[in-house]
Amino acid sequence: MPLLTIATFLPILAGLALMALPDRSTKKAHTVSIAATGAVFLITLGIWARGIVAGDFAQVEEIAWIPAIGAAYRLGVDGLSLPLVLLTSLLFLLSALYSARIGERAASYVVLMLMLETASLGTFMALDGLLFYVFFEVSLVGMYFMIAGWGYEERQRAALMFFLYTLVGSLPLLLAIIGLYLGSGTFDMRVWVEGTTLGGLPAMLALIAMLVTFAVKIPAFPVHTWLPAAHVQAPTAGSVILAGVMLKFGTYGLVRFAYQMTPEAFAQAGQVILAFGVVSALYGAFAALAQSDLKKMIAYTSVNHMGYVVMGVAIAALATEPRIRTIALDGATLQMVSHGLVTGALFFLVGMLQDRAHTRGIGDFGGLLGRVPWLGWAFILSAFASLGLPGLAHFPAEFQIFLATLNGMPWGLIAILAIVVTAALYLRAIAGVFLGEMNDKWADMPDLDRREKLVVLPLLVLTVLIGVAPGWLIDMIHTTMTGLGN
């Protein structure tokens, strides 16, 4: 059974079916949404159960598409993409559950979400350059409408900025893909990842083009400025998908394309890339510290966390010892998953807070922990996970990245100062919103209901599980990264 194909296209087909239905009521739309994303989640579990292989892509599904130019429909997974596929299907399912409350043009909303899921899964599983680019671009459109249609007060501006930023940002990738095609005569990414397609100046030019695209998507300083605006204005599920899934396009591309396809050029530019990672990590942390809007603050911490991923990949290219390279890549990949879970939870929780209070300003709250203990403790746990507390998901990832950095390129470790800054900003947010004297304005704020708990709890459980015993996930990543590090 072509599980990869089914998982990829089931959402959009469900969306099309919904459009064809005569009755597109809110209830029906959300039923379709939850059923489809739930089914996709189960299918991706099936893909997981089938497993991956060391040193190659597993479960490859291939159909001739445009043979004349060597483009084919090719999907496959390895230890880099499969964790992200699982993360994607989980976050879309939880987003569908969370969004079940949306009544405004529900059918259109659901179709967009399902289209986004197809695009996201396709991006991670595509093994054909052209196919990858198509999925990559379609996701952009979906998110544009998501923000413009269901966002908050200044959604038009934010949506537009997001769209133009990432659209312009993704054109260089197209050039790089064409370059790789010209160098190899095929769009087969399995050929490209051998890393011998391009060399010398063409490889460096292709790398620069890819780095531009992925730096916008990751996002890295200084092209990160679309992110806070887009996050603040996006609807909650949009923020979760944007941070949890779509930012990973950038880091996934950084490894799959930049690191794997132009390895020598990547190593030559390694110091520069590392510098961008370090600056992003520190800049994101400090910029987050200055925010008084909860959502914006969390958005900036994404810049910080993704900066660590960039650092890890750069170290993998710079380090001489295979052991260190593997540790760096293990950490970078785990960090992608951890960030998706933890930041996903944080955006959900802020969304729930905003649903209740219609404000996101840290100064507008106070003492809520006594009033809404579920919401408060879930936020505290997620916040401490985000600031890298051991026993929670970010610690093993960041530990590996920093360990590799010290033993690969020690100057990069100045970025570790950011863990104190993130601690400060989260503690400030917790103290401002949940501790201290209760603000009477929120005296009858309700705590999380069953549906909301159902959305947040899986993320918290996985956060703890990865923090305490990451073996079930890291072993799969390690299988592939051992090959990539050598």
Partner 1 sequence: MIWLALTILAPLGAGLTALALRRAPEAIALIGAALGLAGAIALFAGVAGGTDITASLPFLPDLPIRLVASPLTATLALVVATVAAMVLTYAAGYMAQDPERPRFFGTMLMFVAAMQLLVLSGDWITLLAAWEMIGFASYLLIGFWHGRNGVPGAAMRAFLYTRTADLGLYLAAFLLIGIAGTSEISATLATTGTPALIAGLLLLFAAMGKSAQVPMQDWLMRAMAGPTPVSALLHSATLVAAGAILLIRTAPMLPGGALLAIGIVGGATAVIAGLMALAATDLKRLLAASTASQYGLMLIAVGAGVPIAALLHLIAHAAIKSALFLGAGVFQHDRESTDLDTLAGAGRTRPGIFAGFAVAALALAGLPPLAAFYSKDAILAAALDSPSAAWLLPLALAGSVLTGAYMGRALKVLWSGTPEKPHDPVPLMAVGMGVLVALAATLGLVFKPLEAMLGAHLAEPGWIVPAMGLAVGLAGLALGWLLAPARLLGPLLAPARDGFPIAGGLDALVVRPALALARLCDRLDSWIIRRVVLGGIVTGAQALSHRIERAEYWLLALVNAVGRLNLSLGQISLRTDRDTIDRAIFGLVDRTVALGTRARRLQSGLIHREMAMTVAGIALVTGVLLAAPLFF
Residues from 329 through 388 that contact partner 1 (CB under 8 A): 330, 367, 369-370, 384
**Nearest distance from C-beta of residue 292 to partner 1, angstroms:** 10
| Tokens describing residue 34 | 């939850």
Would you say 56 or 475 has its CB closer to partner 1? 475
Would you say 57 or 300 has its CB closer to partner 1? 300
* Contact present, 108 and 229 (Cβ < 8 Å): no
Angstrom distance (rounded) from CA 332 to CA 291 = 27
Structure-token match 């956060």, residue found: 463
* Contact present, 363 and 433 (Cβ < 8 Å): no
Among 57, 98, 132, 145, indicate the residue that binds partner 1 (CB under 8 A). Answer: 145
| Tokens describing residue 192 | 């490209």
Would you say 5 or 260 has its CB closer to partner 1? 5
Residue 456: CA atoms inside 13 Å, Cβ hemisphere, count? 26
Residues from 146 through 185 that contact partner 1 (CB under 8 A): 148-149, 155-157, 160-161, 163-165, 167-168
* Contact present, 125 and 81 (Cβ < 8 Å): yes
What single string gives the DSSP state of each residue in 71-126?
EEEEEEE-TTHHHHHHHHHHHHHHHHHHHTT--TTHHHHHHHHHHHHHHHHHHHHB
Residues from 62 through 81 that contact partner 1 (CB under 8 A): 63-66, 73
Residues from 404 through 463 that contact partner 1 (CB under 8 A): 405-407, 413, 416-417, 419-421, 423-424, 427-428, 430-431, 434-438
SS3 64: strand
**Nearest distance from C-beta of residue 229 to partner 1, angstroms:** 7
Residue 304 near partner 1 by CB under 8 A? no
Among 290, 322, 451, 454, indicate the residue that binds partner 1 (CB under 8 A). Answer: 290
Which amino acid, 110?
V
Angstrom distance (rounded) from CA 203 to CA 205 = 5
Would you say 48 or 65 has its CB closer to partner 1? 65
Binding pattern for the stretch 84-113 against partner 1, x by CB under 8 A and - elsewhere:
---------------------x--x--xx-
Residue 228 near partner 1 by CB under 8 A? yes
Residue 190 near partner 1 by CB under 8 A? no
Among 229, 265, 311, 317, indicate the residue that binds partner 1 (CB under 8 A). Answer: 229
Which amino acid, 204?
M
**Nearest distance from C-beta of residue 198 to partner 1, angstroms:** 26
